[in-house]
């Protein structure tokens, strides 16, 4: 069986002049090599596709695959993560990870929170700033936490994200609107423990892979797991396996959100506790990083004694449950 691998390579975008933060969501050659090696070890004939434009070129030239391991973040638009799934659906090619609807929804943090809240999953109170005039209309108690509504990898989260008064709110919102050209999510700041929950599977078969806790070190930047803390984490965060009652509760909330959003195969959900120790949904990453010994999902897998190839195997097993016709 032939499986194509669709991805955005970070080095390609850095060569085009993108900054490290601009290219933060894209993948290293290490990651793509590891994914391809793991798939090949499971008996797949692996074909590298590249980004969405390369996918379109190859499809137009008549190339086809039995399945695609879709790891494309996309470049432009608030539905950029849905572009590859939508194209593959046009051609009837099965693909790993969530569908176009879920990918489009979950990139927009505010729309995602509306859905999980409606499904009974706890999430911090929030509002959205579309234009700077909206900042004066925010009616939530301080402190608040601000971030771009449709970015990943901690982009836009820094030392100014937690605000304690109207002036800070307006200034941070103005900076984010100008830099990212998209609405700003404003949330009630939660001061409790911070968890990342790894999940594999789909629907009723989905299960918690493990829970890690993000513990702050002395050089932690600001009050959130943002770009600097995620990408230069060694002296900023201590990431540990969490297996106590609070971690179990975080996993339950994450699993409820995963199912409510109809996420598939594998990914990660961020959870933070409020002042009373109750876990709240923060955001979901249905295309979680898969760089060995670097990405949060891989840390969780390692903590649980699951080798990298076995992690990819769990993701592929969930995919094959949806597409049994592709089993050898």
Q: What values do phi and psi take at 327, rounded to 5?
A: -70, 145
The SS3 assignment for 140 reads coil
User: Are β-strands 144-148 and 162-163 bridged in parallel, bridged antiparallel, or unpaired?
Assistant: antiparallel
pLDDT for position 8: 94
pLDDT above 90 (res 224): no
pLDDT above 80 (res 222): no
Q: Establish whether domains 2-98 and 194-325 are of one fold.
A: no
CATH H superfamily, domain 194-325: ATP-grasp fold, B domain (3.30.470.20)
What would the two tokens of residue 94 be? 């099965």
pLDDT for position 147: 95
The SS3 assignment for 216 reads strand
Contact between 272 and 193 (Cβ < 8 Å) = yes
pLDDT above 80 (res 35): yes
Element (H, E) at 59: helix 52-60
Q: 12 falls in which pLDDT band (50, 70, 90)? A: confident
Contact between 129 and 186 (Cβ < 8 Å) = yes
pLDDT digits (tens, 9 = 90+) for 250-276: 999 999 999 999 999 999 999 999 999
> Distances from the Cα of 199 to the Cαs of 2, 3, 207, 282, 285, in angstroms?
26, 23, 6, 15, 10
pLDDT above 80 (res 102): yes
The SS3 assignment for 248 reads helix
Tell me the sheet residues that pair with 141: none
pLDDT digits (tens, 9 = 90+) for 303-320: 999 999 999 999 999 999
Task: Say which CATH architecture domain 125-188 belongs to.
Answer: 2-Layer Sandwich (3.30)
Q: Domain 2-98 classified CATH 3.30.565.10?
A: no
Contact between 90 and 68 (Cβ < 8 Å) = no
Q: Average the pLDDT over 278-286 and give the result.
A: 97
Q: Average the pLDDT over 272-282 and give the result.
A: 97
Contact between 68 and 94 (Cβ < 8 Å) = yes
Q: How many CB atoms lie within 10 A of CB 50?
A: 18
In this predicted model, which residue has the larger pLDDT, 163 or 226? Answer: 163
pLDDT for position 233: 62
pLDDT for position 18: 82
Q: Find the range with the poorest average confidence among 26-35, 53-62, 151-160, 308-317.
A: 151-160
Average pLDDT over the chain, rounded to an integer: 93
Q: 227 falls in which pLDDT band (50, 70, 90)? A: low
DSSP secondary structure letter of residue 190: P
Give the residue extent of every domain in the chain.
Answer: 2-98, 125-188, 194-325
The SS3 assignment for 4 reads strand
Cα maximum dimension of the chain: 61
pLDDT for position 183: 97
Q: How many CB atoms lie within 10 A of CB 59?
A: 18
CA separation for the pair 53, 169 (Å, rounded) = 39
Contacts of 171 (CB under 8 A, 6+ apart): 160
Q: Which of 134, 135, 113, 115 is nearest to 124 (CA)?
A: 113
Burial degree of 25 (CB within 10 A; 0-12, 13-18, 19+)? buried
Tell me the sheet residues that pair with 267: 199
Q: Average the pLDDT over 167-189 and give the result.
A: 96
pLDDT for position 328: 72
Contact between 183 and 149 (Cβ < 8 Å) = yes
Contacts of 132 (CB under 8 A, 6+ apart): 170, 173, 174, 177
pLDDT for position 149: 95
pLDDT digits (tens, 9 = 90+) for 130-167: 999 999 999 999 999 999 999 876 788 888 999 999 99
pLDDT above 70 (res 45): yes
pLDDT digits (tens, 9 = 90+) for 75-84: 888 899 999 9
What would the two tokens of residue 163 be? 């605000």
Q: Average the pLDDT over 23-33 and give the result.
A: 88
pLDDT above 80 (res 235): no
What would the two tokens of residue 294 be? 């670097």
Tokens 């929950």, located at residue: 197
In this predicted model, which residue has the larger pLDDT, 238 or 36? Answer: 36
pLDDT above 80 (res 228): no
């Amino acid at each position: 069986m032939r499986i194509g691998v669709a991805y955005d390579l970070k080095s390609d975008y850095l060569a085009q002049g993108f900054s490290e933060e601009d290219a933060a969501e894209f993948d290293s050659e290490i990651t793509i090599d590891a994914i391809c090696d793991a798939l090949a070890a499971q008996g797949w004939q692996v074909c590298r596709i590249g980004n969405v434009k390369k996918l379109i070129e190859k499809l137009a030239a008549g190339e086809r695959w039995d399945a695609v391991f879709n790891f494309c973040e996309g470049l432009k638009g608030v539905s950029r993560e849905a572009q590859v799934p939508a194209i593959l659906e046009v051609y009837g090619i099965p693909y790993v990870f969530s569908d176009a609807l879920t990918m489009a929804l979950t990139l927009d943090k505010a729309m995602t929170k509306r859905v999980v809240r409606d499904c009974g999953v706890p999430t911090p109170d929030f509002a959205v700033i579309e234009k700077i005039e909206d900042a004066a209309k925010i009616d939530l108690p301080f402190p608040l936490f601000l971030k771009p509504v449709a970015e990943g990898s901690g982009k836009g989260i820094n030392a100014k994200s937690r605000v304690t008064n109207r002036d800070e709110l307006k200034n941070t919102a103005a900076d984010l609107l100008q830099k990212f050209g998209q609405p700003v999510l404003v949330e009630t700041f939660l001061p409790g423990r911070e968890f990342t929950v790894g999940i594999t599977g789909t629907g009723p078969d989905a299960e918690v892979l493990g829970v890690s806790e993000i513990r702050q070190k002395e050089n932690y930047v600001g009050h959130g797991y943002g770009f600097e803390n995620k990408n230069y984490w060694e002296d900023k965060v201590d990431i540990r396996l969490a297996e106590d009652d609070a971690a179990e509760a975080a996993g339950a909330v994450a699993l409820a959100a995963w199912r409510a959003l109809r996420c598939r195969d594998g990914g990660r959900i961020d959870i933070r506790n409020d002042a009373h120790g109750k876990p709240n949904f923060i955001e979901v990453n249905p295309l979680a990083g898969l760089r060995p010994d670097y990405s949060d999902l891989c840390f969780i897998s390692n903590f649980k004694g699951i080798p990298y190839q076995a992690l990819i195997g769990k993701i592929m097993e969930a995919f094959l449950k949806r597409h049994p016709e592709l089993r050898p």
